[in-house]
Amino acid sequence: MGIKGLFPFISDAAPLAIKETKLEAMTGLTIAIDASMCLYQFLVAVRQGEAQSNLSNASGEVTSHIQGFLSRTLKLLEAGIKPVYVFDGKPPELKLQTLAGRKEKKDEADSELARALASGDPEEIRKAAHRTARATPQMNADCQELLRLLGCPVILAPSEAEATCAALNKSGHVHAVATEDMDALTFGAVTMLKNLFDTESSRTQTKRPVFEIKLEALLAQLDVSMDVFIDFCILCGCDYCGTIRGVGPTTAFKLLKTHGSIEAAAASLGAAKAVDLPPADQWRIDEVRLTFKQPEVVDPAAVTLSWGTPDYAGLATFLVGRHSFNEARVAKVVERLKALSRSGQQMRIDSFFKAREAKTMPSSAIFDAFAKKSKAGASGSSSGGGGAAGKRKAPAVSISGKASAAAPSKKQK
């Protein structure tokens, strides 16, 4: 899940932190990839037949994930990108309740798929089949073996993959983190790539733009510290604790701007009898903060990244001999890999120029959560941010996000 509603919020509140880009612009860069998320994407997207079943080998074992990783990695390498795949380890104890809830939903999806198959409705079958996707330890092992045969580095995170990706990004090992989980930013990723991999169904032919998100610019335009940003993300809703009903990103941000911390915000809501907090076992805020600030990750100082020559014979044995891939198609893959080895490493045009220093965020661009919206419905940020208005004392906020009775008499939105 990541952080509920975070991307739409920052698209509106901190647009200067987001730049539209494309995969081809990443030539010559090293990218940390949340491999566990990729695995689920392939189990959902790589399907066939009326029953929307996954691809499988002669033994009936699922191979959709293998096909997906093979195609994606080859595409990245041909684009001149150096992929570093990071796999999930043991989930934090705080996440176990979330995972249990997801398992219940998948069990329900199994029943929905059976009903859809009985009805024969293709669209219902497709939707239900996608919700039943499950990754197994063997699938993880398959992907890791394939990637090593392709000569790509594989990192096994001790816990959350996106946390280790963020650590590699902060240490300078990689240029960016590619994931759909927005909590990569909450873990401190310097640069995040969203939608780098277009897994949209060929049924719709929809292509999504790739977005590059810069954490430094995000904090500057929101005018918050990293500590406040982490509190904001927790209040929005994350995988590690319960949520406060009725508190979305807009209200959460106003609460944090007004009260400074989750505890103070929750106390104000409780005093106003506006909400009921989640049960104590689902509201361990100090532990959640620590999970984001000091996550269990690999030691970047002990990491050496290298890309070797693919094991062509081993790759053919793995794909054709063990997983029933078409021999002729695998031969074409091997030829493409050999062509890459002959071509050498592509250089980025910007490697010949000195990087420019980051500009200071102008005060006129800083987001004002309490500014009046224009008649067109644009936020304060879309008309240049808060400016002088951003320096006004923030009004008290109710659960609806509107000014409370204790706020200044001037009406706020």
Rounded Cα distance, 82 and 150, in Å: 12
Would you say residue 352 has pLDDT above 90?
A: no
Would you say residue 378 has pLDDT above 60?
A: no
Would you say residue 346 has pLDDT above 60?
A: no
Q: What angle do CA 96, 243, 5 make, to 5 degrees?
A: 100
Instruction: Decide the pairing of beta strands 176-178 and 191-194.
Output: parallel
pLDDT category of residue 379 using cuts at 50, 70 and 90: very low
Residues facing 214 on adjacent strands: 191
Would you say residue 196 has pLDDT above 60?
A: yes
SS (H, E, C) 172-229: CCCCEEECCCCHHHHCCCCEEEECCCCCCCCCCCCCCCEEEEEHHHHHHHHCCCHHHH
The pLDDT of residue 382 is: 42
More reliable by pLDDT, 125 or 14: 14
Write the DSSP string, 306-375: ------HHHHHIIIIIIT---HHHHHHHHHHHHHHHHH-----GGGGSPPPPPPPPPGGGS--TTSPPPT
Would you say residue 142 has pLDDT above 90?
A: yes
Query: What value does the mean pLDDT take over residues 25-54?
Result: 78
pLDDT in tens, 228-258: 999 999 999 888 888 888 888 999 999 999 9
pLDDT in tens, 390-400: 444 444 554 54
The first and second tokens of residue 128, run together, are 């239900």
Query: What value does the mean pLDDT take over residues 322-343?
Result: 92
The pLDDT of residue 87 is: 96
Tell me, yes or no, if the pTM score tops 0.85.
no
Q: Lowest mean pLDDT: which of 116-130, 220-234, 238-252?
A: 116-130
Question: Residue 273: left (phi > 0), alpha (psi -120 to 50), or beta?
Answer: left
| Domains, the chain, with CATH or none | 6-220 (3.40.50.1010)
